[in-house]
């Protein structure tokens, strides 16, 4: 009999509200799953990938193998290897944290086999290495909410460290995520970012952040709405998403509290405080994408407070 670990990690919305590179939310789904089995050859082997439509290769550097290597190097005895199976439930290049979900599921599955004592906090840096490979930067605003759940702020610590601050989440908060059929590579979207921003935009973003955080604390949808006016990244990136302004306007007309780019796009998220309204917002956003010639699909989800999960099975 062999013990395997099966870990599941969900989609996330990074850059939530005005929180570029800082604030992210964990959705209930869709989810990626990684199954892991230890080996004694010291190698990290990605045996198979399913659910990706054949787009991901099993050979060469890959988010799950990089992350697994980091976890083994840090926590396992020398000579321990691992075999991995990745099942993609998230679309690639969607702006919903596809690479992060794979990274987090891989870290959690490998860690569960190496030692049940390894806390999630100790896996964050390994997961960020997956982001470095996928996007060119180890930003944490997808992997942290994916790992821990809820809505979190990723605060810079000493050196390269990140301190994860959980934020309160109003119980009724619902996210609508609408993805057009095309992809945007995070690395391309990062290249579009300005090196400097105007003081007026920086001040507006501080005001929006203050309102957004207080909106979360008080469950005040008016403050959250004000807080969704992001001025650092979206102005530089919205050109990647044809019809961006029209989709956001349609979401707001249908009752959205606020809307913005999910991560680096092309998914656009909207916030709602009611499931029925969320369904109407999703329909309006899909229709607005259709008006500019894009077929789009919607996910409606609450915030998952628990984050990624893992269990052990004997096969
Ligand atoms: N904060 C990251 C970025 C998230 O905007 O580049 C990428 O999903």
Examine the domain organization and report whether 32 and 68 are in the same domain: yes
131 lines ligand 1 (CB under 6 A): no
Distance 154 CA to ligand 1 centre (A): 12
DSSP bridge pairs for 83: 37, 45
Examine the domain organization and report whether 112 and 191 are in the same domain: no
pLDDT tens per residue across span 90-110: 999 899 999 999 999 999 999
Q: Which atom of ligand 1 is nearest to the CA of 237?
A: 5
Q: Domain containing 216 — which CATH number?
A: 3.30.70.890
Examine the domain organization and report whether 56 and 93 are in the same domain: yes
Examine the domain organization and report whether 131 and 231 are in the same domain: no
Examine the domain organization and report whether 110 and 27 are in the same domain: yes
Q: Per mean pLDDT, which range of 56-60, 237-241, 269-273 is the poorest?
A: 56-60
Give me the active site residues, please: 131, 186
Question: Which residue among 13, 17, 20, 143 is best mutated to probe the pocket of ligand 1, counting the most ligand atoms within 8 A of its Cβ?
Answer: 20
Examine the domain organization and report whether 125 and 180 are in the same domain: no
Total-model pTM: 0.96
264 lines ligand 1 (CB under 6 A): yes
Examine the domain organization and report whether 142 and 25 are in the same domain: yes
pLDDT tens per residue across span 250-269: 999 999 999 999 999 999 99
Examine the domain organization and report whether 188 and 218 are in the same domain: yes
Examine the domain organization and report whether 35 and 7 are in the same domain: yes
Examine the domain organization and report whether 132 and 10 are in the same domain: yes
Distance 160 CA to ligand 1 centre (A): 17
141 lines ligand 1 (CB under 6 A): yes
Q: What is the pLDDT of residue 225?
A: 98
Burial (0-12, 13-18, 19+ Cβ within 10 Å), 5: buried
- Is the confidence at residue 61, as pLDDT, over 90? no
Q: Domain containing 48 — which CATH number?
A: 3.30.230.10
How many domains are there within the chain? 2
Q: Give the separation between CA 100 and CA 52, rounded to whole angstroms.
A: 15
pLDDT tens per residue across span 123-175: 999 999 999 999 899 999 999 999 999 999 999 999 999 999 999 999 999 99
Please choose, from the candidates 179, 231, 228, 163, the residue with its C-alpha nearest in 3D space to the C-alpha of residue 201: 231
Examine the domain organization and report whether 189 and 126 are in the same domain: no
Question: Alpha carbon 179 to chain centroid distance?
Answer: 14
pLDDT tens per residue across span 279-294: 999 999 999 999 999 9
The residue whose CA is least distant from atom 8 of ligand 1 is: 263
| H or E segment to which residue 82 belongs | strand 81-87
Q: What is the pLDDT of residue 211?
A: 98
- Is the confidence at residue 57, as pLDDT, over 90? no
Examine the domain organization and report whether 10 and 140 are in the same domain: yes
Domain residues for 242? 174-301
pLDDT tens per residue across span 33-50: 999 999 999 999 999 999
| H or E segment to which residue 14 belongs | strand 3-14
């Amino acid at each position: 009999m062999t013990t395997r670990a099966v870990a599941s990690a969900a989609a996330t919305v990074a850059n939530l509200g005005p929180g570029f590179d800082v604030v992210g939310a964990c959705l209930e789904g869709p989810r990626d799953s990684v199954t892991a089995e230890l080996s004694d050859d010291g190698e990290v082997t990605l045996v198979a990938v399913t659910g990706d439509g054949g787009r991901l290769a099993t050979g060469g550097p890959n988010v799950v193998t990089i992350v697994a290597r980091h976890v083994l190097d840090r926590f396992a005895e020398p000579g321990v290897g691992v075999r991995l199976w990745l099942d993609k439930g998230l679309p690639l290049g969607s702006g919903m944290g596809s690479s992060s979900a794979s990274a987090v599921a891989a870290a959690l599955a490998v860690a569960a086999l190496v030692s049940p004592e390894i806390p999630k906090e100790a896996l964050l840096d390994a997961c960020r290495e997956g982001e470095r490979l996928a996007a060119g930067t180890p930003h944490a605003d997808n992997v942290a909410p994916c790992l821990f759940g809820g809505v979190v702020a990723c605060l810079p610590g000493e050196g390269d460290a990140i301190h994860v601050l959980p934020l309160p989440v109003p119980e009724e908060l619902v996210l609508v995520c609408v993805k057009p059929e095309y992809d945007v590579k995070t690395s391309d979207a990062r290249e579009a970012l300005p090196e400097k921003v105007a003081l007026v935009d920086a001040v507006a973003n501080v005001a929006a952040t203050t309102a957004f955080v207080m909106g979360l604390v008080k469950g005040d949808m008016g403050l959250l709405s004000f807080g969704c006016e992001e001025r650092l990244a979206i102005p530089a990136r919205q050109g990647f998403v044809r019809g961006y302004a029209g989709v956001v306007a349609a979401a707001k007309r249908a009752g959205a509290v606020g809307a913005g780019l999910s991560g680096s796009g092309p998914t656009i998220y909207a916030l709602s405080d009611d499931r029925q309204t969320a369904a109407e917002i999703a329909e309006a956003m899909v229709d607005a994408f259709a008006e500019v010639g894009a077929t789009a699909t919607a996910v409606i989800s609450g915030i998952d407070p628990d984050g990624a999960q893992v269990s052990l099975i004997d096969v």
